[in-house]
Amino acid sequence: MSEGGGVIYDIGYQRYDGPRLGRRNAVVSLYVHGLRGVFGLGRPAKAKVLPWLVVAVMFVPMIVLIAVMSRTGTQIERYDFYPFQLQAALALFLAAQAPELLSRDQRYRVLPLYFSRPISRGDYALAKLAAMVTAIFAITAGPLLVYYLGSVATLVHSPADARHQTAQFLLGVVNAAFHAVLLGALGMAIAAFARRRAFATAAVIGVYVISSAFSGAIQALPGRSGDWAVLVSPFPLLENLRVWLLHGKPIDDTLTGLPASVAVALLVTAVSIAVLVRRYQRLSA
Amino acid sequence: MNIELRSVSRWYGNVVAVNDITMTIGPGVTGLLGPNGAGKSTLLHMMAGFLPPSSGTLTIDGEPTWRRPEIYRVVGLVPEREAAYEFLTAREFVVASAKLHQLALPEQAAERALHIVELTEAADRKVGTFSKGMRQRARVAAALVHDPQVLLLDEPFNGMDPRQRLHMMDLLRAMAADGRTVLFSSHILEEVEQLSDVVQVVVSGRLAASGDFREIRRLMTDRPHVFTVRSTDDRKLAAALMAQPHTSGVAIESAGLRVHAADFGSFTRALATTARDHGVGLREVIPADESLESVFSYLVRR
Amino acid sequence: MNAVVAGITFRALFGRRRVLLLILLPLILLALAGAFRAGGGTDTDVLLGRFGITALLPLVALIVGTGVLGAELDDGTAVYLLATPVPRKTIVVSKFVVGAAVTVVFTALPEWVAGLIAFPDEPRLVLAYTAGAAIGSIVYVAVFVALSVLTRRAMAVGLLYVLVWEGLLASFVSGIGVLSVQQYTLAIARAISGAGDAVPATVSVATAIPMAAVVVGLAMWLAVDQLRSYRIAGEAT
């Protein structure tokens, strides 16, 4: 019991007087945290299953290919086929992980905790977007790198070969970058509107499936009247861009004009980013 | 109608939420008291048939509660989660509940229930527009529309303002007075103190004490009882009491004497005799720590 | 079948933002049909099969099927239905009926209209696809309702089923059709249409019909049984 008069004991409680790292550091931390979260790092094992499964799906074929090539010695060019042929895996990755980044914070109402820090709402949205774009880039360009290194190791016999391989590889990387930016922006913009993860996932998948089916159906119309449909779905659109801008070989022969593709791609990306940022600016946390 | 628990335990993997609890809940208002995480909700959900016990038996009126929808003819549950059908009006919600309980005259039962919880004026507004307290009342109405013999409420006073709380307490007392078994859980001592006839104190999954909390206090013999005594000569009485074996401390305060007594029984018997022997008149003897709070904090710290 | 449960389910379904999607998706189908009509498209399989049955149907069924029960189980409002003496079977059946009916209206009906718009000369084929879609709706909704009770992540599992099982694997592993609702739908459509390979399906109708019945029965039984064991977790989240 107290004897009258008071004492405050020093239990080591101190004010923080050190340097405060500020907004830039906060944004970078959020970005890194988001990127780790997309791959399930720092989260329980269950959260790692899907992203790493997709990583395996993206990388394993390349590894197998290299093994085959080193055995047979013949070149099987694959730079052009990535990632279009694996679009389902990529779509699944985006659909599953975009909600990981966005919907969880909304559902558990932790946004006020973020917004009362030096970062602005726009910063938050863009940092998360950057994390997703980086992740998609990693899983689309990564396999190309593996393939490149494997090809160089097993098949290159002359400087001309090496230059050819390198050129193809770099074009593939640019293609991967286009994919990352467009798909990332689109997927994140869709996911930002759902509190429940599963619903966001379904929405992204829905957009992918319906737009692909729609695009495919229109393109099946006789003649070339349906070619514009390439612009309606993200993967055919990106494929179209690749053929035109990067002079790649087309996988199937429906093409639409370059200016239209570029315009639509830019428009979709810009609108998606704008929608994403605006969503977070107007969200009542 | 009684709720019987015999050696009921419930665990989730390594975590034991309820640990070998045996108790009987009878007619009247019983308060289930315990800190957060003590297992109150787990117990309530088991009684309501929404969780099976991992071991032990749990029956209402002799029938086990798990996987038996018939018990809901006599049991009403007001769960803790506030979610309700936002798009229904209060009236529609209670009428729907009445119809689901297969009542012969659902609209009338609903009107009665709404009247009991005093929601008649607001009954035609959507539940989504209600305040927390009104929503709670709507849920209580839905739970008692079929006139259940057993009413289980999980933290019913959460988010209620004092007036609503008083009103709800009156309601529950009235239901219990009719012979119903009303069980509610809370971690707020004042609520339980004011409302319950019987208290069941649950701490870390174990039943720490049951009964009238004043009786429980008396049973806590390893803790001295505190009394405030006012007399005609406090100092003289203080000296006399200090000489007694069962007094563990006396403090002289402006309001009177504050006496710590080790043994409730002997002290109370001896106090009057001592006072008379020393010619001191007793004006007031008040037990100073017989609140549920002191009981509770004692039990929690054990 | 309980009218109160059905009524609440129906109102709950149309009270959320999901409704917009439910209306949007069939409209896209109709728009596509219009494009087909204008562009002279003749491939019925692409419009009615690939878009209507493979893309549209499972998505609508997923949204509706997980919405009729899953949402309530998830947010705790299911307690108001379950803390009553209404048999669990009745609850599940009522919700299933509402879900199936809504799905049929939002998939089979637009399928029929789209077919008539795009292929006015092939009424029997259009009818076949419509009938297939109607039956497919019923089976899909049954499966998704069961999933809602079995797991908290019903929509994710449902998506995996539709995309990976029916979409991806079915093109690689030929036996999968026996366990694919999509194939039952297409097989039934093929049988009714009499058009043979114009409606591609990997199982015969003789397999599809009994399997569809089994799946619906099993799904309903599982849903009812699991609902009887519905638990509310201990301390609130």
pLDDT tens digits, residue range B183-212? 999 888 778 888 888 999 888 888 888 888
Distance, in angstroms, between A27 CA and closest chain C CA?
30
Region B130-157: mean pLDDT is 91
Residue B198, C-beta contacts closer than 8 angstroms, at least 6 positions apart: B25, B26, B28, B29, B30, B31, B210, B211, B212
Residue A271, pLDDT score: 95
pLDDT digits (tens, 9 = 90+) for B68-113: 999 999 999 999 887 888 889 999 999 999 999 999 999 999 999 9
Contact in structure between B195 and B29 (CB atoms under 8 Å): yes
Of C50, C153, C163, the CB nearest to A213: C50
d(CA C178, CA A142): 37
Residue C16, pLDDT score: 67
Q: Which residue has the higher pLDDT, B254 or C18?
A: B254
Residue B143, pLDDT score: 93
Residue with tokens 């086990």: B64
Task: Please say if the pLDDT value at position B222 is more than 70.
Answer: no
Distance, in angstroms, between C233 CA and closest chain A CA?
18
B15 interface with C at CB cutoff 8 Å: no
Low-confidence ranges of chain A (pLDDT < 70): 1-5, 7, 76-78, 80, 224-225, 248-256, 285
d(CA B141, CA B118): 9
Residue A5, pLDDT score: 66
Distance, in angstroms, between C39 CA and closest chain A CA?
6
C16 to chain B: nearest residue by CA? B87
Residue with tokens 């949402």: C71
Greatest alpha-carbon span in chain A: 98
Q: Which residue has the higher pLDDT, B297 or A19?
A: A19
| Interface contact A88-C167, CB threshold 8 A | yes
Chain B: partners with 3+ C-beta pairs within 8 Å: C
C25 to chain A: nearest residue by CA? A210
Task: Please say if the pLDDT value at position B219 is more than 80.
Answer: no
In chain C, what residues touch B45 (CB-CB under 8 Å)? 231-234
Q: Which two structure tokens, joined as six digits, stand for A40? A: 């399930």
CA quadruple B82, B87, B92, B96: dihedral, nearest 10: -70
- Of B226, B220, B283, B236, which Cα lies nearest the Cα of B259? B226
| Interface contact C168-A199, CB threshold 8 A | no
| Interface contact A217-C54, CB threshold 8 A | no
pLDDT string in tens for chain C (237-residue length): 889 999 999 988 887 666 777 888 899 999 888 888 887 777 788 788 888 888 899 999 998 999 899 888 888 889 999 999 999 999 999 999 999 999 999 999 999 999 998 888 888 888 999 999 999 999 999 999 999 999 888 888 898 888 878 877 777 777 777 888 888 888 888 888 887 777 777 888 888 899 999 999 999 999 999 999 998 875 543
C2 to chain B: nearest residue by CA? B100
A88 interface with C at CB cutoff 8 Å: yes
Residues 66-95 of C with CB under 8 A from B: 75-77, 79-88
Q: Which residue has the higher pLDDT, A215 or B59?
A: B59
Q: How many CB pairs under 8 A join A and C?
A: 77
d(CA B299, CA B202): 9
Of B41, B69, B86, the CB nearest to C87: B69
A193 to chain C: nearest residue by CA? C17
B148 to chain C: nearest residue by CA? C84
Distance, in angstroms, between B167 CA and closest chain C CA?
23
Contact in structure between A218 and C32 (CB atoms under 8 Å): yes
In chain A, what residues touch C55 (CB-CB under 8 Å)? 209-210, 212-213
| Interface contact A213-C47, CB threshold 8 A | no
Q: Is the pair B, C in contact (3+ CB pairs within 8 Å)?
A: yes
ipTM, two decimals, is 0.84
Using only the alpha carbons of chain B, give its radius of gyration: 24
Mean pLDDT of chain B: 87
Residue A136, pLDDT score: 95
**Cα dihedral C173, C177, C181, C185 sign:** positive
Of B41, B76, B77, the CB nearest to C235: B41
**Cα dihedral B108, B110, B114, B116 sign:** positive
CA distances from A216 to A171, A207, A282, B117, C53 (A): 26, 14, 36, 60, 14
In chain C, what residues touch B69 (CB-CB under 8 Å)? 82, 84-88, 228
Residues 182-241 of A with CB under 8 A from C: 197-199, 201-203, 205-206, 209-210, 212-214, 216-218, 220-223, 225-226
CA distances from B214 to A178, B193, B198, B222, B255 (A): 75, 10, 10, 15, 24
